[in-house]
Amino acid sequence: GADTVVEPYNATLSVHQLVENSDETFCIDNEALYDICFRTLKLATPTYGDLNHLVSIVMSGITTCLRFPGQLNSDLRKLAVNMVPFPRLHFFMVGFAPLTARGSQQYRAITVPELTSQMFDAKNMMAASDPRHGRYLTVAAYFRGKVSMKEVEENMLSVQSKNSNYFVEWIPNNVQTAHCDIAPRAHKMSVTFIG
């Protein structure tokens, strides 16, 4: 369709503005959204509504701390301070777990270890770039729902030590977690990934 013709132009022509005039850029692309719809959600013919649903859950997760009170609360300014080591490096990959189809009633019990594992899984990233081919400078994880922060911290440390090659060593304590007690509508607990 016409979308695919202009997509590379839009991306290329907007990068300069995003580098110079944006404090934080959350990268989401259609290829990754379609991959999630086909592979993870098993949708045969995803609609724009399905793609928009994925965008809405991840952006809702990113802005949770602006909309609800929570312990270890964070906001977009703190996110920038903690996550942007150099002003031009403010482009983030985002992800969400657990991924479920729009309107789905899959209330399968999910655990904190499952969430942390899914959170770092390339299949849950909303940008079609494999994070295993690079390294994270910083990571933020926003957990929502009835979650034990002690369990979260233990699991995050475990994931970091198992995957230490994927984190730069010159930024110490480069993983930040935040928590909000209020779960998103369709889940008992969830996590939003920013890295």
The answer to whether position 180 is within a domain reads yes
Q: How many CA atoms lie within 13 A of 65 on its CB side?
A: 19
pLDDT digits (tens, 9 = 90+) for 176-185: 898 899 988 8
DSSP per residue over the chain, as a string?
-HHHHHHHHHHHHHHHHHHHH-S-EEE--HHHHHHIIIIIS--SS--HHHHHHHHHHHHHHHTHHHHS--TT---HHHHHHHH-SSTT--EEEEEEES---TT--------HHHHHHHHT-GGGBSSSS-GGGS-BS-EEEEEEES--HHHHHHHHHHHHHHTGGGB-TTSTT-EEEEEESS--TT-SEEEEEE-
Per-residue pLDDT tens digits for 5-33: 888 888 889 999 999 999 999 999 999 99
Give domain status of residue 47, yes or no: yes
Inside any domain, residue 16: no
Q: Does a structural domain hold residue 108?
A: yes
Q: Mean pLDDT for the chain? A: 88
What is this structure's pTM? Answer: 0.88
Residue 6 lies in a domain: no
Domain membership of residue 28 (yes or no) is: yes
List the one residue out of 123, 125, 133, 146 whose CA is nearest residue 193: 125
Percent of the residues in the chain that have a pLDDT greater than 70, as a whole number:
94
* Distance between CA atoms of residues 167 and 174, nearest Å: 8
In a domain, 4, yes or no: no
The number of folded domains in the chain is 1
Quick one: pLDDT at residue 1?
46
Instruction: Answer whether residue 2 is part of any domain.
Output: no
Res. 126 pLDDT band, cuts 50 70 90: very high
Domain assignment of residue 74, given as a range? 22-194
pLDDT above 80 (res 162): yes
**Which CATH number does the domain housing residue 64 bear?**
3.30.1330.20
